[in-house]
Amino acid sequence: MIGLTIAFAVGGFALGSYLAYRYAPPLVRGRGSTAVGVVICVLVGAAAGLACMYVYLGIYALIHEGPLTGVIGGENGDGPTASPDANIFAGTVYSIASQSGVLLALAAGVHLLGSAGGASGASGLSGASGARAEVD
Amino acid sequence: MGALVVAAVVTLFGVTVGWIAAKRLALLPGVTTGQRLARVSVSLLGAIAGGEIASQLYDLVHRLQLNAKLDGSFGGRFQHEINALDVVHAVSTILFDGALLIGLATAVALIARRGATRASIGA
């Protein structure tokens, strides 16, 4: 489980970083634009890594918390009790929204700040996207 | 006591690396008081990010070493669960707090640079 948790986090980080590098709109060319692009890739990668890790942990918990459902869930008609599955799902959604959402919002803010200002030419987070933008 | 000293040294190393990296990458002129304040803020945020990441990494290694000394109660399942909790906590802290601090430092540097550009255009 530990190895898979780390693998999901690292894999999500790599996937998010690559997607930001490949598909993010171009930045304004200037001093330090490369560093801004790297920071945006790190922010999106961290958000994706956290989301992947929490999704894996949620699925793992849903699978392995199964026996508790019969004990706590009131099979004998003891009245309504909180479902562990619903708690796990809500906790996973809350973790992803509160952490990945903040990081994605910050990445968008940094990108807007990096794109604003002078219009001395566009440089994409990847050279291909920048060239594509110029062709379009 | 030895672990405390090592933790302090590792954290100081992370703080130094973060401080220097943020100061060199910010590219902020220190002409006015506001620009100097922004440069110090960016350096501080970078230093905190570096210290946080380094201390969390060392904390994870230290916790795993401590957990290895636990006895094999419940067929080792207890130790496995504790290890998993520590790893999840360390990974989420490094990814979230580290990225948040780095992003904030970048945002502060970009805002300060825009202000400096406007001031130079106005002058």
Inter-chain contact B88–A35, Cβ cutoff 8 Å?
no
Predicted pLDDT at A80: 54
Chain B residues within an 8 Å CB radius of A116:
114
Nearest chain B Cα to A43, which residue? B99
CB-based contact (8 Å) between A112 and chain B?
no
Number of structural domains chain A divides into: 1
The torsion angles phi and psi of A28, rounded to 5 degrees, stand at: -70, 135
The torsion angles phi and psi of B72, rounded to 5 degrees, stand at: -85, 50
Is the pLDDT assigned to residue A131 strictly greater than 50?
no
pLDDT tens digits along A53-108: 999 999 998 888 755 554 454 555 555 556 778 888 999 999 999 999 999 999 99
The ipTM (two decimal places) reads: 0.84
Q: CA A1, CA A3: separation in Å to the nearest integer? A: 6
Amino acid identity, residue B44? L
Residue B42: pLDDT band (50, 70, 90) is: very high
Residue A45 in domain: yes
Residue A57 in domain: yes
Higher pLDDT, B29 or A124: B29
Q: CA A100, CA A104: separation in Å to the nearest integer? A: 6
Query: From the CA of A24, how many Å to the nearest CA of chain B?
Result: 16
pTM of the predicted model as reported, rounded to 2 decimal places: 0.82
Chain B residues within an 8 Å CB radius of A103:
96, 99-100, 103
Residue A73 in domain: no
Instruction: Give the range of the structural domain holding residue A23, as residue numbers without chain letter.
Output: 2-68+81-135
Name the least confident of B49-53, B55-59, B83-87.
Answer: B83-87
Per the prediction, chain A carries an average pLDDT of: 79
Predicted pLDDT at A76: 53
Q: List chain B domain ranges.
A: 2-122
Inter-chain contact B103–A117, Cβ cutoff 8 Å?
no
Is the pLDDT assigned to residue A24 strictly greater than 50?
yes
Predicted pLDDT at A136: 38
Predicted pLDDT at A132: 41
Residue A76 in domain: no
Residue A121 in domain: yes
Q: CA B13, CA B20: separation in Å to the nearest integer? A: 11
Rank A118-127, B66-75, B91-100 by mean pLDDT and report only the highest: B91-100
Task: Please report, rounded to a whole number, the percentage of residues in chain B having pLDDT higher than 70.
Answer: 94
Predicted pLDDT at A9: 94
Which of B46, B8, B5, B7 is closest to B24 using CA atoms?
A: B46
Mutation choice for B interface testing from A13, A39, A125 by most B CBs within 10 A: A39
**CA–CA distances in Å: residue A89 to residues A6, A92, A98, A100, A107:** 21, 5, 14, 16, 26
